[in-house]
Amino acid sequence: MKKIKFPWGELFIIGTTDELSVGIDIIHPKKQTDKPSAYLKKGVAIYYVIKGRGLCDDRPIKKGDLLKLSAGQKINLKNNSKTNLKIITIYLPPYDEANIGH
C-alpha cells in the first residue's frame, strides 16, 4: 500500500495493475482536493463514497453515491462536513498526479 499526503488529506493506493489503480481518498473536513478548474486529462475515475458527505463540483454527494468522471471533466471534490469524507477511487489508467490538469 502506498500513502500520498496532500494539503486536503491523503490518498491510499491499495493496488495497481498496468491498467488501473484502486485507492481510498480521505478528505479532511472543510477541505477540497483541487482547484475548481482541475480536470482529468485522460482515462476515467470512478468514485464510491463510503463515509461522509460533500460536493463533486457543485453536485452534493453522500455515502452510497457512485460517480464516473471521464477525461476532460472537472474532478474537484469538497468535504463540506465536520467529519472525514472517505471515497473508494478507481483510476484507469493508474493514478498519476501528472494526469490532473489545472
CATH of the domain at 76: 2.60.120.10
Length of the chain: 102
Has residue 44 been placed in a domain? yes
Higher confidence at residue 58 or residue 84? 84
Higher confidence at residue 39 or residue 79? 79
Does residue 93 have a cis bond before it (omega within 30 degrees)? Answer: yes
Three cell numbers, residue 23: 485507492
The pTM score is: 0.91
Has residue 101 been placed in a domain? no
% of the chain beyond a pLDDT of 70: 100
Phi, psi of 97 (to 5 degrees): -55, -30
Count of domains in the chain? 1
Enclosing domain of residue 34: 2-96
Label residue 23 by pLDDT band (50, 70, 90).
Answer: very high
Label residue 27 by pLDDT band (50, 70, 90).
Answer: very high
Has residue 102 been placed in a domain? no
- H helix intervals, 11-92: none
pLDDT at 68: 96
